[in-house]
């Protein structure tokens, strides 16, 4: 079965600084990859997804992610973080077997 690892439980960045959230997955074939964001007390909102094609995908709110098959990674990036980006971020891996696995999440704090 597939699995997802988000190595960083909590990250703090200054407003305006760049951001990279790491995600590593384990799956035998090319997975379906997702990044979601969750604000406190809310559901999850899709930021972006990768199914196939161009390995650099653009999402909402200025986020992008790059699929690197050789590293089994799907890291999320943003060039300049805004205070409103403070939230919890989840990487998820889907497979063709009706299975969806989420990482443990990375909590992002943005310093003024």
Give the interface with other proteins as residue ranges (CB under 8 A): 32, 34, 36, 41-46, 49, 90, 94-105
CB 109 within 8 A of CB 15: no
How far apart are CB 10 and other proteins at their closest, in Å?
13
The closest alpha carbon to 78, from 41, 46, 47, 43, belongs to: 47
Q: 């703090």: which residue's tokens?
A: 12
Closer of 77 and 102 to other proteins (Cβ): 102
How far apart are CB 110 and other proteins at their closest, in Å?
21
Closer of 77 and 101 to other proteins (Cβ): 101
Identify the bridge partners of residue 74 per DSSP, sorted by sequence position.
67
Closer of 70 and 97 to other proteins (Cβ): 97
């Amino acid at each position: 079965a597939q699995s997802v690892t988000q190595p960083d439980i909590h990250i703090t960045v200054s407003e305006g600084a760049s951001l990279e959230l790491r995600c590593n997955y384990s799956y035998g074939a090319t997975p379906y990859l997702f990044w979601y964001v969750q604000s406190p007390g809310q559901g999850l909102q899709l930021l972006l997804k990768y199914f196939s094609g161009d390995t650099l995908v653009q999402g909402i709110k200025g986020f992008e992610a790059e699929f690197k098959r050789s590293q089994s990674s799907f890291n999320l990036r943003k060039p300049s973080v805004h205070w409103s980006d403070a939230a919890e971020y989840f990487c998820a891996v889907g497979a063709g077997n009706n299975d969806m696995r989420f990482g443990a999440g990375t909590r992002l704090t943005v310093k003024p």
